[in-house]
Amino acid sequence: MLRYLNQCSRGRGAWLLMAFTAFALELVALYFQHVMLLKPCVLCIYERCALFGIMGAGLVGAIAPTTPLRYGAIALWIYSAWEGLRLAYEHTMIQLHPSPFAVCPFAAKFPTWLPLDKWLPQVFVASGDCSVRQWEFLTLEMPQWLMGIFAAYLLVAVLVLIAQPLKPKRRDLFGR
């Protein structure tokens, strides 16, 4: 399996698939916000940023899958998946155990050199409360689903990283 993951990481298809899944999740988030009129909280916005990081890692990996740039894409992938998992866990704990002492900030804080909330307010401006449960599917809230999604991204990313030193298996027609 590790050799297969190594082989996949050296091709564009798997990287583009990862970028596409993150893009699809971003579209779902925008559907929830603008069509179903759910209000994203600050942690929701940060979780979106983590998904954009995974999408970016997929695009970087697809640009140069056979060069050392692939390791940068894997590093971005692991960092974004870890941060997304951490944020989704924090969000879940706020929803499951509401407390006046554990609240999320009023507005997302982006660096001055990257004011995403000013550039794209339709995507990056928070208007909801982190403790409010707005959506549920199969008894799980949205941050609980995101915990599973980010955990899956992280697990695959770590396995791909472990597989990097292995030589890809050659598959010849005549089995040489």
Q: How far apart are the C-alpha atoms of 5 and 81, rounded to whole Å?
A: 18
Given 48, 86, 133, 170, the catalytic residue = 48
Catalytic residue among 8, 44, 49, 70: 44
Catalytic residue, from 130, 133, 171, 176: name it.
130
* DSSP classification of residue 35: T
Active-site residue, 104 included? yes
Residues 6+ apart with CB under 8 A from 102: 93, 94
Strand residues in the chain grouped as ranges (E)? 136-137, 140-141
Distance, in Å, from the CA atom of 130 to the CA atom of 128, rounded to the nearest integer, reads 7
Clarify whether 176 is annotated catalytic. Answer: no
In whole angstroms, give the CA distance from residue 105 to residue 88. Answer: 15
Q: How many residues does the chain have?
A: 176
8, 49, 70, 104: the catalytic one is 104
Among 8, 10, 41, 70, the one annotated catalytic: 41
Strand partners, 136: 141
Known catalytic membership, residue 130: yes
State yes or no: is 8 an active-site residue: no
Helix (H) or strand (E) holding 72: helix 69-96
| Residue 41 among the catalytic residues | yes
Which residues are catalytic, by number?
Answer: 41, 44, 48, 104, 130
